[in-house]
Chain A
Amino acid sequence: MSLLSELRTRARALFRRTTVERDMNDELRDFIERETAQLRANGLSHAEARRRALAGFGGLDRAREGMRDERGVRFLEDLGRDLRLGARNLARRPLFLGASAITLGLGVAVAASIFSVVSLLLLRPLDARDPGQLVAFGHNSRFLDGPSPSLSYPMVIELRKLDVFTDVFAQSNEEIAFADQGRDDARVHFGNAVTGNYFTMLGIAPAVGRFFTMAEEERRESVVVLSYQTWMTRYAGDPAVVGRSVTMNGHPVTIIGVTPANWHGIEHLVDAQFYYPIVMRQLLTGATTNALETQSSFLRVLARLAPGRTLQDARLQLDALAARIAPERGLKPGEFSFLSQYENRARPVIVISHMIPAIAGTFLALAVLALAIACVNVGNLVLARTLSRTSELAVRRSLGASRGRVLRQLLAESFLLGVSALLVAIPVAYGVVRWISSLKLSADIPLLIDVRLDWGVLFFAGGVAMLAGIVTGLVPALRGSSDRVAATLREDTRGATDSRRKRRLGAILLAGQLAFSLVLVIAGALFARSLGSVTSMDLGMDPDRVAMATVDLSLNRYQAPQAAEYFRRATEEISVLPGVEVVGTVRDMPMGFSQSFLRIEHIDKRPIGEAPSLSVQFNDISPSLMDVLRLRLLEGRAFDQFDDSTAPPRVLVNPQFAERLWPGEKHVVGRQFKFTSDPVPFEIVGVIAGVKAEFPTETPRPQVFRPYAQAGGLRRTILARVRGTPEEVVPAMGRVLRGLDPTVAIGDLRSTHEFLHNGKAFFLYRLGSTLTLAIGVLGLLQTLVGLYGVIAYGVSQRAQEFGIRVALGAARGQLVRQVMGPAAAQITVGSVVGIVVAGLTLPAAGAILAVSPRDPLTYALCTMGLVSLALIALYLPARRAAGAEPMRALRRD
């Protein structure tokens, strides 16, 4: 009863405020009328009666306030009033509001976007059951140049015997000519050949249809599971695809299901387009030997730890296993070892995952930096604002506003500021993340950058920034609201300048902010210059004005003689296309996804015995490739048409190969060596400058080039040097290749320039430099807006002072100098600090930069650029100060 009436009154007080106020006034008026009437009846005049009636209240307003207090909604009402007043206050100073909201919003957006990207690589678990229990593998052996991220199938069998894992699955990334039945438009698609326990072990459920199982693997049925993306783009999400037949490498296969939308396979930057049982692999590739029975390492392996077991337990068992199986592979114990790591720390692949913390750390540091700038910036603006409001606050205190009330007022404004900043931050962060996610790699491999905006981080960053604003605003506010009202009023009278101590805090904040953003800009510029130097780096070839296409005839189960005939005719027909100068072919396209290696057995007929591993990279080239890619002959001769299958085996090598096999010898032409795989030795006929095979920044490795006519091979990249632009020749090349056989799957049909610049080769650098530059520019923008805001605000506060000075005859140039002088000093200090901080911290990212992290030119240009922009940001308000109209300024209050 009582509670009900209580609620009713309060609700009424809140929502029917006008009615309640009118009732209150009616009631008071009624009382006064009655009292007046009674007093008049006692013989007083009307005026005197009314005066006394009113006096009985001891001030009507006090009664009103008392009644309002008793409504029990005082707190909420005040809050509403604080917010309304705060909004009005902020709206009245659009410069302050705009500068703070933009600078804070940008900082928060940058921090949240960076964090979202890092989270993709480091933090976000796979969308699988108990992802924290998944372990990734690799191995190292004396036969390898470096650790491998793969295992062979016999090794997987061994892993399955260990009791530390409940289950182990393997997958291999495969290129497949995928087509709907009855169509000839086969394209190379990327799929995962996976062991039958793949889906059950990951614990994911199909979007439609079903998944295959271990039993299916044993029955060797030809089935495929589509990725959600493929289902959507190729079949428009039609559930009827289940049961439909497609051809994979010309072989009929039945679609049985579709993966869920959030499943993208276990490779973090590649989106597998379909999944099929690994036992189908031999059927699809037409290989004569079953790769599952060989020692070749081509499988990516994940295992699930048994409940209660740790990675340490697993490593103990893996070490024991490695020691046991090493002798079976002709190795001594210690010459073979397993690599193992939790899945989320083995990204993107286990062998380079040790670099990821450095890269991610760099970016996280940038995120913190951006947020720090935002905080300093807003702190600075809020400080300037609060200082200028000290007298306003003091007046409010003296008019009876309680100290708590004044503080609440300031908190409400900080809160509103934070909300405005979030309104800026959310669209910016959302846009940045969308943009990063939409980055596409110009290659047949479906690149997947599945960045999702981390809302938690966004709001956390917003909260931190808001807190910074509140804290900075609170210090002076506490002083302003302290009981030294009179002193404050005296100190802060009209036109007087702030005390020196208050100004020093602002100066430090300004310099600090400038230093922060200089570090950011330098980091961005270093990345950008890295990209520049990487793209202009000597790759050992001239890729400009070259068109390319990759054809893998093994997908169509060609035999070697048919394939040789296909490539011969293709080369011939492409050579006569208009605009084509010369055509050549290569086995592994440089900077592509595949490289080939062979082990050396004999040098000059002498077995290498126990010498360190001699695994070298080899490639097969047609004689004309020298002209197409303009490879440089250093010694001896290049291949010609006589280096065919009837001639003795001959090779070209690079200087690194010569140095590795015959250290110190100048001339190696005529020397011989033998691979383990071939019965006869090879003779060196020439030395050419090698070609960068994988990444532009790789250190040159020993390379051997064999003539195609002696090697064969079913997969080649055809390259054509053209007179005009390669893009004009590319479609014609495609027509020729399909004309020879409509069922072939053509990959990477594009210009070589496109393949390199938008493909894998430069992608990491492009991504890195775009990201850092974007961050740097946002940071710079933040700083300039902040700088302009603070100075402009300061000038507007001192408008009267400047007006008086102009009236007293001060030269305008002198005023400009006076405004800019102290700020210029802060800019100098900030720049110096920024350079020092950058010089100390950026070398930590040295590993991922292609230029020196202390490159003087970059530092100088960035500093000069930042300082000039800062001076412009300063000059604009300074000029306004100097242009102060004396009369207007004086009349202002």
Chain B
Amino acid sequence: MTAGVDLGAPQTQAIRSDDDVVRVRQLVRTVAVATKLSLVDQTKLVTAASELARNTLIHGGGGTADVAGVDDGRRRGVRIVFTDSGPGIPDLDLALTDGYTTGGGLGLGLSGARRLVDDFDIVTAVDEGTRITVTKWSR
């Protein structure tokens, strides 16, 4: 972590099934409550986590979510890192476009999740996998 101090070790949730997506939501909710995010911010973060965990499962072929409370000295937040070693995203700009889908969904997962968080970082390489880091800060 470049800036900020961890408020506790990240908790890892494996994403291998539908039920694991539910577990990611519950874990993120718990950490968001402990970090004292507002109700609306909790809801936004949990929704974003749900979208990204589903992407990790469906497009990445499964992976992990690491959830941690963070502190940058001024405010607290929750950081989640989704990692998979799936096929990667060949055209990132296209994948981040509203309505673009390869999974038969609404195409709002990635673009919508980005709107719901404060920081959004994505690292992807074809045939190697994808790592998405999102942070929601308290106000």
The finding on whether chains A and B are genuine partners in a shared complex, rather than unrelated, reads no
